Amino acid sequence: MSASHYIQEALLQLIQQKEYEKITITDIAKRAGVTRISFYRNFDSKDAILELALKSAFQAYQAEHGTDLSFPALFAFFQQNKSLIDCLYKSEKEIFIAQLLTDKQSLSTLPTEVAYSYAFVGYSILGACTAWYQRGMVDTAEEITRIMDQQKSS
C-alpha cells in the first residue's frame, strides 16, 4: 500500500480519538509510519486527505453502482461509508459532501438552471445527510427514500 493510503487511514483513526483541530501533521505522520516530508509529498493539508478519502470512496461506489445520484443511491453510499461520514462530521467538514456533488464543474460557468439544480441537489443531500447523522445514522436508505417520496407526494 502507498504512503497516501497509510496517511489517510491514520487521519481517519485519529479523528475517532481526538478533536480534528488538535490533530497535527506530526501526529498523522507518526501514526502512518511516514515522515512529515512524505506527508507533504502526498497532501498539502488535513482537509486534502478528507476530500480525497470522500472522492475515492464515491468513485469506488460509482464504479460498482453507476452514476445514479438519487437519494436511495446516495444514502446507500453513506451507509456503506459510515465511518468516513462520521469522520467528516466529527471534523466539521461535512460541507465536502455537498462540494463533491456540486463541484463537477464550476457553478459560475454552468447555465443558470443547471447551476441552481446542482446546488439544490448537493445541499439538499447535505441537509438530509446531516439529519441522518444527527439521528445516529440508524435509518436505512429505504426508510429515508420512503420519507422523501411521501414528502414529494404531499
Q: How far apart are CA 139 and CA 72, in angstroms?
A: 12
Record the cell numbers describing residue 76, joined without a space: 446507500
Instruction: Please tell me the distance from the alpha carbon of residue 49 to that of residue 100, in angstroms, as a whole number.
Output: 14
Q: For residues 54 and 58, what is the distance between their CA atoms, to the nearest angstrom? A: 6
Q: Residues 99, 80: contact at Cβ < 8 Å?
A: no
Output the pLDDT for position 149: 80
Evaluate whether 29 touches 56 at the Cβ level (below 8 Å).
no
**Residue 103 confidence (pLDDT):** 66
pLDDT of residue 106: 64
Contact 102, 120 (CB under 8 A): no
| Full-model pTM | 0.83
Amino acid 88: pLDDT = 95
Domains of the chain by range and CATH? 1-44 (1.10.10), 54-153 (no CATH)
pLDDT at 143: 86
- In tens, the pLDDT along 26-68 reads 999 999 999 999 999 999 999 999 999 999 998 888 888 777 7
Residue 105 CB-density burial (10 A; 0-12 exposed, 13-18 middle, 19+ buried)? exposed
Eight-class DSSP state of 86 = H
Helix/strand/coil for 2: coil
* pLDDT under 50: residue ranges of the chain: none
Residue reference for cell 497516501 = 4
97, HSE (Cβ side, Cα atoms, 13 Å): 29
